[in-house]
């Protein structure tokens, strides 16, 4: 059994331009749990307020399988483990599993840490022993292991043996600088497997474009724990991409993981969900999960693939929830839509006609820039509209936004909204720090007295992406809004050439979905 350890929420966020709020991280953690990841590294507690908030809120997260893991360092030099603040911060997270990193390369010990090789060994041993005495699962990340091993194999091995002897549940060999090549990994891991009696793990970076290859080679050589990130997000050239590692293990190497065949079909969707949540475009050429990963171009090839798919595809794309693009959009086919609808309490099993119409609409909308991967609530509203079971809570007559830039540099937006609720017409005006904020306030003034539950709904996050310009039209803006009401959170989407219009669309879906799923109901994500 290979242990899957995801560090998207910690190492992944080191990627330039990637930032996740605590709320984002919780939503990603839920999806990683659905996928079957064993350990989800949530962050570096004590390093920033966002991670502290994440671990606080993660305590109430209900996960079916995964364990949230906190990441930190060994004790500092010349103090006891009991007195070390960062070890204390790890324990305070309440996480059952902890991961600490320590130095294995003498150069780093003497130059970066400025301590002796003996003290470094003591730091590793003491820290692991102390955390084990607190009854936690403890993983030891051997930082710069491969470079360290190449420089001084005896010392690198001794550091790992010290962690193992202190009780580490796995010793993770890290290619921190990402420059090691597969044949070196194969040799070194084999030597470590022979020398140590402890489960070994691999943590690879992609600086030499070998992170996935190195991870697979390490597992082939005896590692039983693999660390990586969704979509390979990470510092510099990124981390090992779990969306490639997981299917390779399951489909090609016959390795057992907690991602069974059913869960593996979620891979493409989870990958895109993480991209959307990070406000990054999914990469079309990404192996296994990219939109083009199974797209066939050219006459003979395309028509042949319909008859003889196996001749042109390295795996059946359905196994990872992807599709040969000839068929449909990114959101997948009939079965997954039917399954999604069921999650929303809508039974479509006997209604293949509606399924077909909805899939056509999704395809059309995605062509215009919509993306439903992080906007389940908008998808549900669209579905109910198609089925004719959707009851709007209000009808817009018009809205208007005015922006004012003042002499003192302040920018204010004023929104006026004209709306019909239960046969009455209301006009409301509000000010905000931006158009969405002003529109949201005006809408609440207009309809709040009819729908007291609206008070509980807050807009948590707001993401804007300008999509590629299409021929003959202006650039299109996509707005994603995340909302919450204290026991659940949901995502909605709006698309328009006008950013305010796109925001309004996402805002209306957010409010309407929130109103149609009041707090008392059981929570759904």
Binding-site ranges for Zn ion (CB under 5 A): 11
SS3 285: coil
Nearer to Zn ion, 219 or 495 (CB): 219
DSSP state letter for 239: B
Indicate the residue among 11 and 505 with the shorter CB distance to Zn ion: 11
Beta carbons within 8 Å of 266's beta carbon, 6+ residues apart = 31, 34, 35, 321
| Closest separation in Å from C-beta 108 to Zn ion | 14
Token look-up 């292991």 returns: 145
Between CA 412 and CA 344 the distance in angstroms is: 39
CA distance 169 to 92: 20
Which residue lies nearer to Zn ion by CB, 23 or 175?
175
User: Which structure tokens are listed for 482?
Assistant: 């995340």
Residue facing Zn ion at closest CB distance: 11
Q: Which is nearer to Zn ion, 81 or 124 (CB)?
A: 124
Nearest approach, Cβ of 48 to Zn ion (angstroms)? 17
Dig out the tokens for 276 from the structure: 């959307």
Which of 243, 250 has the CB closer to Zn ion?
Answer: 243
Q: Smallest Cα–Cα separation from 159: which of 133, 120, 186? A: 120
Q: Which is nearer to Zn ion, 235 or 376 (CB)?
A: 235
Residue 217: C-alpha distances to residues 161, 169, 214, 224, 308 (Å): 22, 21, 5, 11, 31
- Distances in whole angstroms, Cα of residue 314 to Cα of each of 89, 264, 288, 299, 305: 46, 16, 9, 20, 12
Residue 205 CB, nearest distance to Zn ion (Å)? 6
Residue with smaller CB distance to Zn ion, 12 or 247: 12
Report in angstroms how near the CB of residue 323 gets to Zn ion at its nearest: 32
- Nearest approach, Cβ of residue 185 and Zn ion (Å): 15
> C-beta of 243: minimal distance to Zn ion in Å?
17
Decide the pairing of beta strands 67-73 and 97-103: parallel
- SS3 state at 383: helix
List, edge to edge, every strand of the sheet that includes 411-421. 395-405, 411-421, 424-432
Nearer to Zn ion, 11 or 366 (CB): 11
Closest approach of Zn ion to the CB of residue 234, in Å: 7
Smallest gap, in angstroms, from Cβ of residue 96 to Zn ion? 22
Name which of 11 and 276 has its Cβ closer to Zn ion: 11
Q: Which of 257, 229, 267, 202 is nearest to 6 (CA)?
A: 229
| Closest CB to Zn ion among residues 141, 512 | 141
Phi, psi angle pair for 98, to nearest 5°: -130, 150
Q: Which is nearer to Zn ion, 172 or 348 (CB)?
A: 172
Q: How far is the CB of 88 from Zn ion (least distance, A)?
A: 23
Judge contact between 363 and 323, C-beta under 8 A: no
Q: What is the DSSP letter of 229?
A: B
Minimal distance, residue 277 CB to Zn ion, in Å: 21
Minimum distance from residue 395 beta carbon to Zn ion (Å): 52
* Main-chain dihedrals φ then ψ at residue 60, nearest 5 degrees: -100, 0
Cite the beta strand spans of 337-438 per DSSP E. 395-405, 411-421, 424-432
What 8-state DSSP symbol labels residue 209? S
- Note the helical H segments in 180-322: 182-195, 211-220, 242-247, 261-264, 267-277, 299-307
What does each C-alpha distance from 318 to 128, 288, 289, 352 come to in angstroms?
43, 10, 10, 19
């Amino acid at each position: 059994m290979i242990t899957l350890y995801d560090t998207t929420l910690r190492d992944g966020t080191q990627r330039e331009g990637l930032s996740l709020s605590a709320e984002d991280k919780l939503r990603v953690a839920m999806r990683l749990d659905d996928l079957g990841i064993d350990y989800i590294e949530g962050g570096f507690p004590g390093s920033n307020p966002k991670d502290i908030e994440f671990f606080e809120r993660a305590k109430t997260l209900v996960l079916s399988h995964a364990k949230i893991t906190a990441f930190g360092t060994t004790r500092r030099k010349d103090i006891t483990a009991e007195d070390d603040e960062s070890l204390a911060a790890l324990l305070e997270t309440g996480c059952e599993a902890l991961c600490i990193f320590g130095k294995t390369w003498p150069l780093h010990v003497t130059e970066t840490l400025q301590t002796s090789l003996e003290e470094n060994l003591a730091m590793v041993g003491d820290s692991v022993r102390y955390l084990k005495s607190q009854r936690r699962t403890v993983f030891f990340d051997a930082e710069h292991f491969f470079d360290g091993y190449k420089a001084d194999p005896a010392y690198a091995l001794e550091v790992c043996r010290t962690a193992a002897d202190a009780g580490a549940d796995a010793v993770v060999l890290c290619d921190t600088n990402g420059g090691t090549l597969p044949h070196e990994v194969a040799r070194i891991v084999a030597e470590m497997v022979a020398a140590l009696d402890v489960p070994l793990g691999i943590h690879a970076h992609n600086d030499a474009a070998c992170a996935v290859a190195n991870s697979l080679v390490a597992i082939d050589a005896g590692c039983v724990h693999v660390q990586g990130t969704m979509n390979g997000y990470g510092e510099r050239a990124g981390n090992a991409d779990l969306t490639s590692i997981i299917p390779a293990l399951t489909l090609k190497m016959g390795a057992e993981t907690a991602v069974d065949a059913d869960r593996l079909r979620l891979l493409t969707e989870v990958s895109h969900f993480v991209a959307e949540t990070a406000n990054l475009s999914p990469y079309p050429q990404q192996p296994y999960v990219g939109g083009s990963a199974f797209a066939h171009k050219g006459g003979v090839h395309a028509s042949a693939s319909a008859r003889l798919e196996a001749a042109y595809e390295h795996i059946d794309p359905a196994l990872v929830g992807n599709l040969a693009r000839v068929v449909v959009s990114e959101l997948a086919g009939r079965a997954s839509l039917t399954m999604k609808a069921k999650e929303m309490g809508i039974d479509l099993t006997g209604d293949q006609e509606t399924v077909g119409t909805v899939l056509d609409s999704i395809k059309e909308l995605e062509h215009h820039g919509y993306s439903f991967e992080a906007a389940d609530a908008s998808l549900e509203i669209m579905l109910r509209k198609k089925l004719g079971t959707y009851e709007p809570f209000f009808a817009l007559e018009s809205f208007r936004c005015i922006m004012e830039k003042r002499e003192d540099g302040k920018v204010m937006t004023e929104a006026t909204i004209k709306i019909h609720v239960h046969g009455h017409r209301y006009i409301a005006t509000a000010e905000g720090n931006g158009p969405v904020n002003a529109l949201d306030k005006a809408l609440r003034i207009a309809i709040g007295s009819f729908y007291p539950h609206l008070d509980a709904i807050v807009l948590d996050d707001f993401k804007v992406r300008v999509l590629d310009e299409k021929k003959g039209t202006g650039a299109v803006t996509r707005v994603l809004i995340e909302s919450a009401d204290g026991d659940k959170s949901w995502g909605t989407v709006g698309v328009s050439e006008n950013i305010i219009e796109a925001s309004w669309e996402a805002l209306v879906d957010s409010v309407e979905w929130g109103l149609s799923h009041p707090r008392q109901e059981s929570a759904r994500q």
